[in-house]
């Protein structure tokens, strides 16, 4: 793993460094009900820029908490990194895996990208409930999406 992920996991920053929060922004894609297990869009916010993934465009950035086609639900601080410069490197490494043609609602979606970016930056995953529907779809015997 990168030095940034190791530093973030151990909770130590270089002397004089100001930690930068890594925030998961979660959006409702449909009206959620108690029966529904969650149909969410996510993006990872660092220093006023939110990174996400969509079909056609691939990896993109937008103004935090303003993703199209979703209603902002909540933000979760996932952890901190020593500086925002690590984000550009991490996003560049993930672009080839998350290009616009690779999008699949079940097998490679925005939540998978948020998970991968969180692992790159912090060495840990996003909360499991966020991508629960896709995980259930992956074990379903019929593969249509």
Annotated catalytic sites, by residue? 41, 110
Q: Which residues contact 47 (CB under 8 A, 6 or more apart)?
A: 20, 84, 87
Looking only at the bridges linking them, the beta strands covering 49-54 and 58-62 are antiparallel
Q: Which residues contact 125 (CB under 8 A, 6 or more apart)?
A: 115, 118, 119
| Cα distance between the two ends of the chain | 32
List residues bridging with 64 in a β-sheet: none
Q: Which residues contact 57 (CB under 8 A, 6 or more apart)?
A: 100
Helix (H) or strand (E) holding 120: helix 110-122
């Amino acid at each position: 793993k990168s030095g940034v992920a190791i530093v973030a996991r151990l909770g130590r920053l270089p002397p004089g460094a100001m930690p930068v929060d890594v925030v998961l922004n979660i959006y409702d894609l449909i009206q959620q009900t108690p029966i529904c297990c969650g149909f969410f869009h996510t993006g990872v916010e660092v220093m006023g820029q939110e990174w996400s993934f969509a079909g056609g465009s691939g990896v993109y950035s937008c103004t935090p908490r303003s993703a199209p086609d979703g209603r902002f639900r909540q933000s979760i601080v996932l952890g901190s990194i020593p500086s925002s410069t690590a984000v550009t490197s991490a996003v560049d490494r993930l672009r080839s895996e998350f290009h616009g043609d690779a999008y699949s609602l079940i097998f490679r979606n925005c939540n998978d990208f948020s998970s991968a970016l969180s692992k790159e930056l912090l060495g840990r995953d996003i909360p499991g409930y966020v991508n629960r529907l896709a995980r259930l779809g992956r074990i379903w015997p019929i593969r249509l999406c």
